Structure 1
Amino acid sequence: MSQPYKITGLHGVFPRLEIRKLYEDEIQFTLFIYALHAIKQPDYRPKPARFQDMGGIHGLPYERWSGDPDAPDALPEGIWGGYCNHQSVLFPVWHRPYVLAIEQSVGEAANRLARRWTEDTEHVSEDVRKTWIDSANKLRFPYWDWTDKNTETEGLPDVLKPQVFQYKLPDGTLSDPIENPLAFHEFGSVQPDGFQDEIFQTSMARGGAMSFFKSWSRTYRWPSSKVNPIEDYVKINKLLRGSAETRGSAKQLREQVGRLFCYPAPGETVEQQRPSIWDEFSNTLFKPGKAGWDGFGCGSIEQPHNTVHLVLGGLGAMANNDYAGYDPIFYLHHCNIDRILAFWEYTYSKYWVDMGYYKKDGDGKAIPFTQPEGTWDERNNAPIDRKTGLQPFRTKTGEYWTPDQTRFFNKSSTLETGYTYPDIVAEVNGKQQRVSLTDRLPETDQQVHECKAVLQTHFGVCEKGPLAKLHLKETTGYTAIPEGHRLVQDYQRFYTFVELVGHAFNGSYSLQLLFKERVIASFAVLSRGDATQCASCRVRKKAGGQVRGIVDIPDEVVGEIIESRKKELDTADDIVEALANFIKESLSVRLIDAGGNLLADAVARPGVPGIRTVGGEGSRLEEAITPVVHLRSARAIRKVDDSVVVPARGQLPKMGLTFFNHSDHGDLLGDQEWKTI
């Protein structure tokens, strides 16, 4: 009987490095590239540690992972529903042992390479041998930080693009040249079972772009819709960098991540509310108010995750969860998601999935979160909580990992994960401050707000005061400012709350917000095709499963609208509501598929003034898949640093920012309606 491949992590605790930083260390990068190349080979052993076997965990071929051969199976004989944990409170924690598994495989291969390359002691000195062995021991899987400000100018780092690598080995000889294993994965002569070509279309828009998954022998990024495609790295860079006409994804992504650190401190919440905060943070299925608690408008880690998948994928593997696990960049991307999660749970250590959520006026008993249809081994709506097994990943004791065991600050002797992340540093209140995962967890609300201030500054969350010229009334129409906080003057954040149908278009797609015909923000839906074998995805499709998220309207756009309507705003009785109406008049929305092709457009009805009109073209979008987009706004407050005495006219030190007093200004589209192409 086969034994499971246990995910134990590597020996010792060393930092995962950003891929560009790892590239600067020639020895570690050489080991990493050749180890990754090694585990991609069809004859690599152990088989569960093969790259292609691990890639299949995330989707196709929908069969038991060889690393967990004797797993239980609740589905009928011959049916396998997959390990899907997307749109779930388990989304970020399930991917943690997944990344750890690929790190472990690469680390094991790197150690074997280092020993093999240095065994010829006649040509390799003891010092050189020790250097290479130490480098292999310290090697951890890198992350690609798409929030790095340099992404706005550089786009995708060159090290992730096709090229040939060749490096000097310990004995002074050159290694064999190999194609960059980070750029794609070659399936070889036989693809995994189940690959098939897929087309994006609706019942009213029959034409569409084709993804030739069945014909392609390797993974592609932004491929043309051809059997022999060309990858469009220019397009990827354009999406990441942005331009004067199109808001850059990197800027939006960074700000989205920054707003994840705008949740209130634990002492500013009700204890029973905390699992609902984890729900909102962890996934895009969350619906404010489902448990009687209002949402905080800070968003989910799954939202920027989805956007990156579509930015990199186009019609290729990364934009379809059935294939995404085969693209090497998938793991660098998820390593960055794991890094963000590590800093979030360090800051908000008291927010957790726990044993379930609570109704605001309920009986005080926890209501378990559920997984619609579960996965391959769980019944429909099976309860999930902090003790749920994260199949197929087993610990060193042979049990399945649980959410509790994934927590980054869990340092028990049986669950040492072997990695950490570099500190995050930012200039706050005139000096360099840092958040370090090796420090003690923040214990007081003030310490939480100090962490928030650093992380918000690093990720670009700031208040620019676009309403400064409107002289907002600070006392009328607003809820009481929480004790120990001060209102951020002349700042009103405008954002949209979006609800989309996840499986509306036979694949992934995006909603784009437009201002003056230019894209200012977007929201991505990461989906599988209609033919997917994923049990959870099929149930969500049948139920018309909603994907929800928050799309901010950039402050500079709000400022531009204010300038154009300044006279009317000066005489408005309710400045915020008047401005909200002007914003609704100024914006439009459209849907595009993963390849950037138009699916549907929100246009003005005939005879009604609007952004644009359509004559006899197009058909009305089916009501069942029509997006819901509401305009909302919120004020911002900052915690007062109670350790500093400030003169009456002095400048208060900046602490963490929190949004409060959220207002719903109704349907963004107003008199516009959805038309398909």
Structure 2
Amino acid sequence: MSEPYKITGLKGVYPRREIRDLAEDEKQFCLFIHALQAVKQPDYRPKAARFQDLGGIHGLPYERWSGDPNAPDALPEGLWGGYCNHQSVLFPVWHRPYVLALEQSVGEAAIRIARRWIEDAEHITEEDKAAWTEAAKALRFPFWDWTDKSTETEGLPDVLKPQVFQFELPGSTPAEPILSDPIENPLAFHEFAPTPDGFQDQIFSTSMAKTGAMSYFKTWERTYRWPSSKLNPIEDYVKINKLLRGAKDARGSAKQLRESIGNLFCYPAPGEVPDEHQFPSLWDEFSNTLFESKKAGWGATGCGSIESPHNTVHLVLGGLGDMANNDYAGYDPIFYLHHCNIDRILAFWEYTYHKYWVDSGYYKKDGDGKPIPFTQPEGTWDESNNAPIDRSTSLQPFRTKDGEYWTPDQTRFFNRSSTLDTGYTYPDIVATVNGQERRVKLSDPLPETDQEVHDIRNVIQTHFGVNKKAPVLGPQLKMTYDDGSVPAGHRIVPSYHRFYTFVELVGHAFGGSYSLEVLYKKRVIGSFAVLTRGDATQCASCKVRRKAGGEVRGIVDIPDETLQDIVESESEALATADDLVEALSKLIKTKLTVRLVDAAGNLLADTVARGGVPGIGPSGNNEGRRLEAAITPRVRLQSAGAVRKRDETLESTHDGKPSEADITFFNHADHGDLLEGPVAWLPY
């Protein structure tokens, strides 16, 4: 039988570069584009390293990956359910060796290409040979940083869009350039060769709500981003750019994405967590949108999960196309640049919070001290229903150089053992703090004290703009808290209070991916995305979740500028309120509305007061209908105060000026349903 394709990483340790930075390096970018194009060819060998074979690991065709041919089946024949690891504590760590597999394939191809070009060059200097050899050796798969401030103005980088490249090859001189053949940008799409088995057209609908939007996956011969609902579609990059820029609405805007990532670095420092038994639950809350251990009673931090912005980017890029459906997403090259960025964020988070981990399970608050295993309902082909998963679970189908399956422990970025050497790192995160440039370097020793964690958080929060909180309540409104609620060693951020919605949605409610949007004055101010697969999927865990009505959970922040506008419009009434937070929460509920849209932004369901026209929904064609109770969203309004680590050198900072200390959220409060009173969800 054939040997497994082992995921060992490339030799040496070099940084993964942001795609726009890589594109400025003529030699590396030339090699990257040619290597990616090479691994896409139908005859590329080894077959397991071929782009299309790797793409199939994430979803269709639900066949065993050729790189792991000898794995025993744990499920009965015919029930093989894929390798799905989403809405799970394994979500971020499973994708790490997955991206590494493509990086390894492309890197190996680049080294061979550089060697061939050098050998074929008739006139090449030793200096040029060395430069091309080093460029190939140092090449790592790039990431697309959608949190970069430039995304607010530029949208999707041009280098990720359709175009034709031509490069100067080894041996070129200014007088006699040697040019490559023109090459169509392999980052823009993938052409199937052939179309994998099992591809099916998908329509977004339920028995009650139907948009009529169709994705023609069975017919399309290549991947598409925001395609029109046609057999021969047109991609709408203008739409993608509008979403990223937040030109009209904030659904998937770079600003929303950046703030959601910044919030991930507001989790408390380990010494400020009352009980170490909460550590696995903090990893759970961070790592995925299921948050299985929420029932353990620790409560949520309100800092969100890395899977939530991940899902949003999928829908922003996909629309009716491949990225918005997990069965097909792995075939779009941008999937891997997106997941490299997710992996980059994970690397800095686990460096900052290395004590929070899946371990052997989670613990009940005030329980017996025994761990309760996390589970993955029918998670992959080799796991039975509700099989326990922990730090040593096999991350199939990926094998290390020793031939064993990768485990979560081995993926940890700071783990360097004889078994694991990933071969890559990431550029430093840089910010100006106290007028000085500060860096967070993944190669530095791990933080062991709370102060070291705060110092790291300070740089990262500043980088993402989290800790520059303006007095959104206005100078005349001051927040007051019980003295006992303010964490020791911290000081209150005056005239600031954070409001957000806690959202619970049914993952497979509408036969495909969809979003809940929060609106203020008829404008989308935030959204929460559900990334899923169609009803016809063979994904085992997805089938179980659909049958059980599995939920996803997340938060949607109410932007500071929205809260500021609400405060200014009702400043007189708020100035005399006995309980400012309660008064604000009641006011916010009268100002916000919510709705559900499919991956292409088509309306699925909206909310109306039952006091309106009886039985007639906004679409005019749903007489007497209401959205089924089983798939009706639950949206609650919650809030938290903000404190900064006390620093005597910063005590002179006055209101309205950003402090240099990092932010922690505290005094969390639940204000009940966002939509109070007689409200009905009506399908379209």
Deviation at 1:640, TM superposition (A): 2.0
CA contact (8 A) 2:479 2:494 kept: no
Q: 1:668 maps to what in 2? A: 674
Equivalent pair of 1:35/1:109 in contact (CA under 8 Å): yes
1:491-502 to structure 2, matched below 5 A, reads 491-502=496-507
Name the stretch that deviates more: 237-246 or 486-495. 237-246
Superposed, 1:506-545 pairs within 5 Å as: 506-545=511-550
Residue type at the aligned position of 1:673: A
Counterpart in the other structure of 1:16: 16
One-letter amino acid of the counterpart of residue 271, structure 2? G
Secondary structure of the structure 2 residue equivalent to 1:262: coil
Residue in 1 aligned with 2:63?
Answer: 63
Partners in 1 of 2:446 and 2:49 — Cα distance? Answer: 34
Structure 2 partner of 1:334: 339
Query: Residue 116 of structure 2 corresponds to which residue in structure 1?
Result: 116
Listed as ranges, the gaps of 5+ residues in structure 1 are: none
User: Does 2:231 match 1:227?
Assistant: yes
> Cα 1:559–1:646, aligned 2, differ >3 Å: closer, same or farther?
closer
Residue in structure 2 matching 1:469, options 471, 475, 493: 475
- Which residue of the other structure, out of 213, 218, 227, is the alignment partner of 2:222? 218
**Residues in 2 aligned to 1:360 and 1:636: alpha-carbon distance in whole angstroms:** 24
- 1:142 aligns to what? 142
Change in 2 beyond 3 A, CA 1:646/1:235: closer
Pair 1:396–1:23, CA change in 2 (3 A): same
Whole-angstrom CA distance in 2 between matches of 1:506 and 1:120: 53
1:606 Cα deviation (Å)?
A: 2.0
Secondary structure of the corresponding residue to residue 475 of structure 2: helix
Report the equivalent of 1:196. Answer: 200
Change (3 A) 1:166 1:366: same
Distance 1:600 1:174, change over 3 A: same
Structure 2 residue ranges without an equivalent (≥5): 173-177
Structure 1 match to 2:81: 81
Match for residue 158 of structure 2?
A: 158
- Looking at structure 1, the residues matched to 186 and 388 of structure 2 have their Cα atoms a distance apart, in angstroms, of 40
Tell me how far 1:474 sits from its aligned partner. Answer: 1.8
Q: CA deviation at 1:596?
A: 1.1
Q: What secondary structure sits across from 2:460 in the alignment?
A: helix
Deviates more, 1:515-524 or 1:201-210: 201-210
What SS class does the counterpart of residue 281 from structure 1 fall into? helix
Is 1:35 aligned to residue 35 of structure 2? yes
Deviation at 1:79?
2.7
Measure the CA separation in 2 of the matches of 1:616 and 1:122: 73
The offset of 1:638, in angstroms, is 1.3
Cα separation, 1, equivalents of 2:436 and 2:251: 31
For 1:206 and 1:237, the matched residues in 2 are separated by: 27
Aligned with 2:660 (options 638, 650, 654): 654
TM-score (normalised: structure 1) = 0.96
SS at match of 2:115: helix
Pairwise CA distance, 1:286: 0.7
Measured in 2, the distance between the counterparts of 1:288 and 1:540 equals: 17
Structure 1: distance between partners of 2:650 and 2:667: 27
Match runs of 1:202-351 below 5 Å: 202-243=206-247, 246=250, 249-269=253-273, 270-286=275-291, 289-351=294-356
| Alpha-carbon distance in structure 1 between the residues aligned to 2:539 and 2:337 | 24
Q: Deviations over 1:84-135 (max 9, x none)?
A: 0000000000000001000000000000000000013632222111111110
- The residue matched to 2:503 in structure 1 has which SS? strand
Q: What is the RMSD of the two structures over their aligned residues, measured on CA atoms? A: 1.8
SS in 2 for 1:449: helix
TM-superposed CA distance for 1:138, in Å, is 0.1
Deviation of the 1:320 alpha carbon: 0.1
- CA 444–623 in structure 1, closer or farther in 2 if over 3 Å, else same: same
TM-score (norm: length of structure 2): 0.95
Would the aligned equivalents of 1:638 and 1:655 in 2 still touch at CA under 8 Å?
yes
Give the aligned partner of residue 370 of structure 1. 375
Query: SS state of the match for residue 469, structure 1?
Result: coil
Alpha-carbon offset, residue 287 of structure 1: 5.4
The AA in structure 2 aligned to 1:192 is P
Task: Identify if the C-alpha distance between structure 1 residues 242 and 459 changes in structure 2 by more than 3 Å, giving closer, same or farther.
Answer: same
User: 2:424: which partner in 1?
Assistant: 419
The Cα shift of 1:482 comes to: 1.3
* CA distance, structure 2, for counterparts of residue 2 and residue 395 of structure 1: 16
Q: CA deviation at 1:653?
A: 6.4
Q: 8 Å contact 1:604–1:613 — kept in the other structure?
A: no
Task: Give the structure 1 partner of residue 465 of structure 2.
Answer: 460
Partners in 2 of 1:15 and 1:543 — Cα distance?
Answer: 43
| Structure 1 residues 329-373: Cα deviation after superposition (integer angstroms, max 9, x where no partner) | 000000000000000001001000011101111111111111112
Aligned match for 2:403, one of 381, 398, 422: 398
Q: 1:615 to 1:591 in 2, by over 3 A?
A: closer
The separation in 2 between residues aligned to 1:161 and 1:432, in whole angstroms, is 34
In 2, are the aligned partners of 1:164 and 1:177 still within 8 Å (CA)? yes
Is 1:551 paired with 2:573? no
Letter in 1 for 2:300: G
**Alpha-carbon distance in structure 2 between the residues aligned to 1:663 and 1:280:** 18
Matched with 1:90 is 90
Whole-angstrom distance in 2 between the partners of 1:460 and 1:322: 35
Once the two structures are TM-superposed, the CA of residue 663 in structure 1 deviates from its matched residue by: 0.6
Question: What residue is the counterpart of 1:107 in the other structure?
Answer: 107
* 2:175 corresponding residue in structure 1: none
Offset of residue 614 of structure 1: 4.6
Give runs of ≥4 in structure 1 deviating > 6 Å: 646-653
Query: 5 Å matches for 1:370-389?
Result: 370-389=375-394
Say whether the 8 Å CA contact 2:322–2:328 is kept in structure 1.
yes
TM-aligned CA deviation for residue 247 of structure 1: 6.4
User: Could you say if the C-alpha distance between residues 125 and 529 of structure 1 is closer, same or farther in structure 2, counting changes exceeding 3 Å?
Assistant: same
CA distance in 2, matches of 1:339, 1:434: 15
Alpha-carbon deviation of 1:396?
Answer: 0.2
8 Å CA contact retained: 1:452, 1:655: no
Residues 84, 375 of structure 1: 8 Å contact kept: yes
Return the letter of the residue paired with 1:218: R
Aligned to 2:634: 628
What do residues 61-90 of structure 1 show as CA deviations (whole Å, max 9, x unaligned)? Answer: 001000000112111113310000000000
Match of 1:585 among 581, 584, 590: 590
What are the Cα deviations for residues 165-202 of structure 1, in whole angstroms up to 9, with x where unaligned? Answer: 111110222111111000000003x2111001010011
**How far apart are 1:628 and its partner, in Å?**
0.3
